[in-house]
């Protein structure tokens, strides 16, 4: 995607501008469920073993495929009749995010951790639901030839929201406290609400609503279709998707505790990981969009998993040479930038590949299934990450997360070779 073409799409297509706002609101909740929140929990002296377990609060993002099919088939209460099925669910999920953020804000994890857990679970559910319905809107509102452009702006919007939820929340926490930070994050959902109200309605929402089949069939139909089209390559392809981001999920669960253990302030962390890292991540995004069409998606997958896993060695280096707070600021900036650039590159490659596997009829449900499959193994392993660090220390932990990527890279290579031999899995049908 060229920069000039992207800017032309933003100013000339109402769908692209709406996607930027919706991507922004999609990027806010996830960090506030755990990653940014872990800084608050660390300051509240929550033990590191419990911190690792708290990463399981993001499980809703891994199991969103269970309720995604129902969002494809049933209208949202109240708003569905007014705005259409998909935009109605977007508004309902955004309201849920706002209420959950307010609930977390009025808690205190140092004295009442259960309150924080309950509202964090609610935030994870609302945020995951928002992702599902925004993906559904994105896939149905634009034809396939526009999907690359609209997806690119979704990613840019997501990173902007991620910047606000990361750097913005940390800056606000340093200046005004965590309660004010979380309340401001609730207010920051406003652009997404406006985008949902002004977004064009997909043609599919104007027609006759989909047939309401049984409960089990609603869940099973997208899975059966996906596996049927993948054929004999279903197992290796799905294993590859499941393992591709596993090292990154395990590593990111303990990145913030590492930074805090090295005595970096919230402001330093925000500056490096979010403000400075925003440009670095965009660089990885644009590089991936340039590389994939030129070397092919499978070669890009191999490169992405090798690069992404090897980048965790930079965090191991930081654990060894990070110094004490601001005294090693540029070591901090350089090592985290390597990890951020690699993560952004690998993410775009994976998004492109998973999108190619979905069928139009079940696009939102199958995309939710694939993203859940991608996130679940790493999330489950991340729950034990704090206990591993207690036993081994940060350095060997991050070395181990790099090694995890080796069998995944071999699996990517195997699927690539099978495709070259004529066993290429089916991609999206025209529906």
Amino acid 430: pLDDT: 37
| In the block, residue with structure tokens 């297509």 | 13
Cβ 404 vs Cβ 251: under 8 Å: no
Topology of domain 213-431 in CATH is Growth Hormone; Chain: A; (1.20.1250)
| In the block, residue with structure tokens 């030129």 | 294
Cβ 115 vs Cβ 99: under 8 Å: no
Instruction: Please give the Cα distance from 385 to 390 (Å, whole number).
Output: 9
- Sign for the pseudo-dihedral over CA of 276, 277, 281, 287: positive
Q: What global pTM score does this model have? A: 0.75
Question: For 1-212, which CATH class?
Answer: mainly alpha
Amino acid 211: pLDDT: 61
Neighbour count for residue 384 (Cβ, 10 Å): 15
Below-70 pLDDT ranges, the chain = 1-12, 143-148, 204-215, 322-327, 360, 422-431
Cα 223 vs. chain centroid, distance in angstroms? 21
The per-residue pLDDT for range 53-89, each reduced to its tens digit, is 777 787 888 788 888 888 877 888 888 788 888 899 9
Instruction: Please give the Cα distance from 130 to 259 (Å, whole number).
Output: 30
Q: For residues 355, 70, 62 and 148, what is the CA-based torsion angle, rounded to 10 degrees?
A: 20
Compute CA distances 23 → 119, 123, 151, 166, 282, whole Å.
23, 17, 9, 15, 14
Measuring CA to CA, which residue among 46, 31, 8 is closest to residue 101?
31
Tally the residues of the chain: 431
Residue 66 CB partners (closer than 8 Å, separation 6+): 219
Within 13 Å of residue 300, how many CA atoms lie on the same side as its CB?
Answer: 23
The structure tokens listed for 240 are 């590859």
The structure tokens listed for 306 are 């090798």
Instruction: Please give the Cα distance from 152 to 145 (Å, whole number).
Output: 13
Amino acid 119: pLDDT: 93
**HEC secondary structure over 216-274:** HHHHHHHHHHHHHHHHHHHHHHHHHHHHHCHHHHHHHHCHHHHHHHCCCCHHHHHHHHH
Amino acid 89: pLDDT: 93
Cα 366 vs. chain centroid, distance in angstroms? 16
Within 13 Å of residue 94, how many CA atoms lie on the same side as its CB?
Answer: 27
Instruction: Please give the Cα distance from 253 to 375 (Å, whole number).
Output: 12
Instruction: Please give the Cα distance from 181 to 170 (Å, whole number).
Output: 8
Instruction: Please give the Cα distance from 203 to 90 (Å, whole number).
Output: 16
Domain boundaries, the chain: 1-212, 213-431
Cα 182 vs. chain centroid, distance in angstroms? 20
Instruction: Please give the Cα distance from 254 to 201 (Å, whole number).
Output: 41
Q: What is the DSSP letter of 7?
A: H
Where does residue 296 fall: left (phi above 0), alpha (psi -120 to 50 degrees), or beta otherwise? left
Instruction: Please give the Cα distance from 297 to 381 (Å, whole number).
Output: 27
Instruction: Please give the Cα distance from 183 to 169 (Å, whole number).
Output: 10
The per-residue pLDDT for range 326-359, each reduced to its tens digit, is 567 888 888 888 988 988 888 888 887 887 787 7
Cβ 428 vs Cβ 360: under 8 Å: yes
Cα-flanking dihedrals φ and ψ of residue 262, to 5°? -90, 5
Amino acid 66: pLDDT: 86
Amino acid 265: pLDDT: 81
């Amino acid at each position: 995607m060229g920069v000039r073409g992207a800017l032309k799409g933003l100013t000339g297509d109402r769908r692209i501008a709406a996607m930027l706002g919706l991507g922004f609101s999609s990027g806010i909740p996830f960090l506030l469920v755990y990653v940014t929140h872990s800084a608050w929990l660390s300051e509240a002296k929550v033990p590191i073993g419990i911190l690792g377990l708290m990463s399981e609060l993001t499980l809703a993002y891994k199991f969103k495929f269970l309720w995604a099919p129902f969002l494809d088939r049933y209208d949202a209460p109240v708003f569905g009749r007014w705005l259409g099925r998909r935009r109605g669910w977007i508004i309902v999920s955004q309201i849920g995010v706002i209420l959950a953020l307010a609930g977390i804000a009025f808690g205190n994890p140092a004295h009442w951790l259960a309150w924080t857990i309950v509202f964090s679970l609610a935030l994870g559910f609302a945020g995951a639901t928002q992702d599902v319905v925004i993906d559904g809107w994105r896939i149905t509102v634009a034809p396939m030839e526009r999907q690359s452009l609209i997806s690119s702006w979704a990613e840019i919007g997501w990173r902007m929201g991620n910047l606000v939820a990361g750097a913005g929340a940390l800056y606000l926490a340093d200046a005004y406290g965590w309660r004010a930070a979380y309340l401001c994050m609730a207010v920051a959902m406003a652009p997404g609400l406006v985008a949902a109200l002004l977004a064009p309605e997909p043609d599919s929402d104007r027609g006759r609503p989909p047939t309401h089949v049984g409960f089990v069939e609603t869940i099973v139909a997208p899975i059966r279709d996906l596996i049927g089209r993948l054929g004999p390559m279903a197992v290796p392809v799905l294993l590859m998707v499941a393992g591709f981001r596993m090292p990154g999920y395990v590593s990111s669960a303990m990145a913030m505790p590492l930074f805090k253990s090295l005595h970096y302030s919230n402001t330093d962390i925000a500056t490096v990981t979010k403000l400075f890292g925003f440009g670095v991540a965009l660089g990885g995004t644009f590089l991936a969009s340039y590389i994939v069409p030129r070397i092919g998606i499978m070669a890009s997958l191999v490169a992405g998993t090798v690069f992404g896993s090897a980048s965790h060695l930079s965090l191991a280096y930081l654990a060894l040479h990070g110094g004490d707070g601001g005294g090693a600021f540029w070591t901090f900036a350089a090592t985290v930038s390597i990890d951020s650039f690699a993560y952004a590159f690998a993410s775009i490659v994976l998004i492109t590949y998973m999108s190619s596997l979905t069928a139009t009829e079940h696009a939102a449900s199958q995309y939710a299934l694939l993203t859940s499959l991608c996130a679940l193994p790493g999330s489950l392993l991340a729950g034990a990450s704090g206990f591993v660090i207690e036993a081994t220390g940060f350095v060997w932990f991050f070395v181990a997360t790099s090694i995890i990527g080796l069998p995944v890279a071999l699996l990517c290579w195997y699927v690539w070779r099978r495709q070259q031999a004529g066993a290429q899995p089916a991609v999206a049908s025209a529906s």
